[in-house]
Amino acid sequence: MNIGFIGLGNMGGPMAANLVRAGHEVRVFDLLAEHLAEAAAAGCIVAANAREAVADCEVAITMLPAGQHVTGLWLGDDLLGALPAGALVIDSSTIDVASARAVGEAARARGLRFVDAPVSGGTAGARAGTLTFIMGGEAPDVEAARVVLAAMGQNLFHAGPLGAGQIAKMCNNMLLAIQMAGTAEALALGVREGLDPAVLSTIMGKSSGNNWCLERYNPWPGVMESAPASRDYQGGFMTRLMVKDLGLAMALAEHAKSPVPLGAAARNLFQLHAQWGNEALDFSSIQRLYRGPEHREE
């Protein structure tokens, strides 16, 4: 298929590369030249701007930091007008529900199809093509999106109508933040009492405290070679993006009048951690918060 892809960061770059590997023609655009160079090396066609990237495409995909970027691009810059009737727009950014619905409704008014499809699985999943896509939209549009998303992910879920993908993603990321903070807290306690973090991780991983963070994303440096913690927390899912997602979850909870005391506590922890100079590090660097002042960036 002829696919336009905008947003080539830690997640978007590998995703676009996987589309090329699947045999699609992928035209890309990003504001950073180094991202475009990496995409070109992976076989993508570099466009001069966003409109050129999606012009006459059958499918247009965006992977952007926040709701204002998505609405600014599709609505403010009227990028929807560059697409032919019947084209499918897939937004895989994690954004607020109102923004997702605004772009989706505007797309439909122009005779376009739209699916909000935020992802889970981290940068490792993006590189391996094993992401989870959580989709919101009309059933026929979601089915059309599956054909494209299957090149980038293994688990494709239809959460419900337009915006439902974002709601499910916020719930997931709030739970992930709670798990990561709890895992870091438990590891720090054990290590302070003389336990080896790798041994403790193995014990908890085979016990009732097991969770995704222990299995695939251990926050203690050196315990898991593939985890960002063993690369000085470089790459991965940045703390500032987790803070953003937790803010979205808090706004959603306020709208739903749903109590989220653990989610609120996690947001405060990650926000404090970010303010201490760790916002560009992977979110598992929350481990530093528990290890003491000597491990915190000022």
Average the pLDDT over 38-51 and give the result: 97
Q: Which residues are catalytic?
A: 169
Among residues 35, 31, 60, the alpha carbon closest in space to that of 48 is found at 31
Same domain, 51 and 98: yes
Model pLDDT, residue 105: 97
Residue 50, both tokens: 């966003």
Same domain, 18 and 73: yes
Same domain, 124 and 210: no
Model pLDDT, residue 297: 55
pLDDT-derived band at 123, boundaries 50, 70, 90? confident
Question: Which of 161, 186, 201 is the endpoint of a domain?
Answer: 161
Q: Tell me how many domains the chain contains.
A: 2
pLDDT in tens, 147-202: 999 999 999 999 999 999 999 999 999 999 999 999 999 999 999 999 999 999 99
Same domain, 220 and 201: yes
Same domain, 171 and 287: yes
Same domain, 285 and 145: no
DSSP state of 230: G
pLDDT in tens, 243-289: 999 999 999 999 999 999 999 999 999 999 999 999 999 999 999 99
20: left (phi over 0), alpha (psi -120 to 50) or beta: alpha
pLDDT-derived band at 124, boundaries 50, 70, 90? confident
Residue 155, both tokens: 């688990």
Beta-strand pair 131-136/119-120: antiparallel
Q: Does any domain span residue 81?
A: yes
Question: Which of 161, 177, 210 is the endpoint of a domain?
Answer: 161
Among residues 244, 274, 115, 97, the alpha carbon closest in space to that of 173 is found at 244
Question: Which of 142, 161, 180 is the endpoint of a domain?
Answer: 161
Same domain, 127 and 194: no
Model pLDDT, residue 283: 97
CATH number at residue 252: 1.10.1040.10
Same domain, 143 and 185: no
Q: Which residues contact 25 (CB under 8 A, 6 or more apart)?
A: 1, 2, 3, 45
Same domain, 123 and 226: no
Residue 199, both tokens: 């041994």
Q: Which residues contact 106 (CB under 8 A, 6 or more apart)?
A: 74, 75, 80
Model pLDDT, residue 160: 98
Model pLDDT, residue 298: 44
Range of the domain at 274: 167-291
Cα-based torsion angle of the residue sequence 212, 217, 222, 223 in order, rounded to the nearest 10 degrees: 10
- For the chain, helix (H) and strand (E) counts, in that order, are 13, 9
pLDDT in tens, 53-101: 999 899 999 999 899 999 999 999 899 999 999 999 999 999 999 999 9
